[in-house]
Chain A
């Protein structure tokens, strides 16, 4: 069954990150399987209007102002006309939103539901329940996912989190992990310059923010450096906490090197300069960096948080509690293994990870979700209102009013630009060139 899918998210290229990569690679693999994919995101600088990417991936950069943290202001109303036009002219059947933080995704899903389309939501992040921002965000997610046909999470921990946050049924949430482009992340090849044989190099690559455990890094590095004469640190990434590591660099000027932000295309070259990859994140739904590092032949030492224990088999990763002492102990063991050469064969590890995580498999499993929802019954407005009314005495009626208001706006749009006057666009002449369907 061929589907026409609209991927909606605030986070897409030219911005770089996990969600952006996910949307792009998933779209490419779905196009390969014969589906039509359109991406909708907000404008990035002078990148506005319609752009075409590889294999006819059409991207709409809609005019919406970024409000906070790369996401637009959630309003549910002002983007209705433009979404309606896009969804009708592209003959979209399924609206697929990405990212709980993405207001555009929630707006897109809302308009999709107003037009009676099927909706899927992918949650990429974990969120707590205790603080005020979590309570507000979870409430919005609960409202947004109340009438979404299906949700996707990237790990089992993520699924438990989403089920609790959005109060939806477990069977309506699938677990489909992220993947990594394995052709980009290969272990060191003969002829390439790697780390020196007489030293052990520990690689760190992440955004240098609190959630990535920079405090832990700055606790571990002095201990390891004082302990071993032959262990160096190579740190990539940038962020507000960089200064903390700069101070360490000044103290251990020959042993710690900060290289700043690294282009995604150069990450593999960065990885092969080391033996061990250290991840000190404090929360992760699915850590792509550890998969990329393991595929590049590095031994991974990571904190046991979020979905990380689910991602890599025990032979490729060493897990530790998020405290300095425990991480140093695990690093001691791994450094000893590296010195003795007692590690898994990098190419074998690469082959295993390639078989576990690839975008074609992700696309195949996502397609199964699309196949499952396409015959689902579309909810009527009264059914949706009945669901909204369960949210409480204030929020429930409020969202029923919002639904009523958006219905009026849709009616005005229908009067102003009737559906039959919207031109249906010609699809890109893509064909399923790949034998993916037979997979």
Chain B
């Protein structure tokens, strides 16, 4: 039989006995200390920064490529919108650019998938090519049919309102996009949809259906196709730098002010933010201890369990005598028989 003699009521009045100098951090064990006694090492279970990762400045700057690529894409879309609106480029040329970029990008993407052994040739042909052709065809038809309606979507609104609204939507797109981080704010559906909505809003301000359709096709390329392609550029810094520099020149064609805004924005993203992160991460104090909510480890051998379940599936289950289950009784009364 177990010995419980040492677990007796905790006295409030100090008594002198053999445990006088021994303080237990348990509620069930006897000690003679006052309730507010604090032993010198009562915070011994405290842990600091157990899961903290330190990054070098180069690593942090390379990692910001993921965000800066998306910002660049939004800016690129706006540049095309601006020049279409001012008739600096024709819808036909935008179509040509979109189409050729799509073909080349699609080819490179599939080659990349193929060389990285992600997909084999059969999957590429069956799944990727046929399926993508179907989707592209359907999307193209629907966009073409709906363009006259989309073009009048924001006719009753002021252009400043539309621009402000689109800025917010692009902000949401950038905020919720998946940059490879597991967080509550990451929502790919919200990110893509807000970008598409912004794309429609801007497209609806153009002068003709052709202008609108060409911008939409370019938007689909930017916000639906490019994110898949961008993963290849995440760790390829020269490509991102080239993209950034080309876009700096392109943004100058809108206005010098816009170019300045773009360069400052990219400077904040690529240089200032990672530098601040690297400097301030050393001051981070993440306190961990037994009070933290445990993260349950649910890794179990489900195959073994399912195998056991399959083996038992056709055996009549052992029924507990004391467990009267109304559902089973009802089923039995209805003559349905024993459910598995």
Residues on A close to B: CB < 8 A? 126-130, 150, 155-161, 163-164, 169-177, 195-196, 199, 201, 211, 213, 215-216, 219, 222-223, 226-227, 229-230, 232, 234, 251-255, 257, 273, 280, 282-283, 285-286, 303, 305-307, 309-313, 315, 321-325, 344-345, 348-349, 352, 355-357, 361, 364-365, 368-369
Contacts and interface: CB of A to CB of B under 8 A. Distances in A.
B298 A156 contact: no
B25 A310 contact: yes
A230 B318 contact: yes
A172 B38 CA distance: 9
Contacts of A303: 294
A361 B308 CA distance: 51
A230 B317 CA distance: 11
B323 A257 contact: yes
A425 B287 CA distance: 48
B12 A283 contact: no
B42 A156 contact: yes
B104 interface: no
Contacts of B45: 157, 160
B36 A311 contact: no
B87 to A, nearest CB: 48
A373 B27 CA distance: 23
Interface in B11-25: 12, 25
B323 A226 contact: no
B331 to A, nearest CB: 9
Nearest to B40: A170
A138 B8 CA distance: 35
B2 interface: yes
Interface residues of B, number: 52
B295 to A, nearest CB: 8
A355 B8 contact: yes
22 contacts: A127-B291, A130-B292, A159-B38, A160-B42, A164-B43, A164-B287, A173-B38, A199-B321, A254-B325, A280-B296, A282-B295, A283-B293, A305-B294, A310-B25, A310-B28, A312-B28, A313-B4, A325-B299, A325-B300, A355-B7, A356-B8, A357-B27
Nearest to B23: A156
B238 interface: no
A359 B116 CA distance: 67
Contact of B27 (A234, A306, A356): A356
Contact of A174 (B36, B298, B308): B36
A195 B322 contact: yes
A170 to B, nearest CB: 3
Interface in B32-47: 34-38, 42-43, 45-46
A283 B292 contact: yes
Interface string B274-311: 00000000000011111111111111100001001100
Contact of A129 (B2, B25, B286, B323): B286
A171 B38 contact: yes
B332 to A, nearest CB: 12
B339 interface: yes
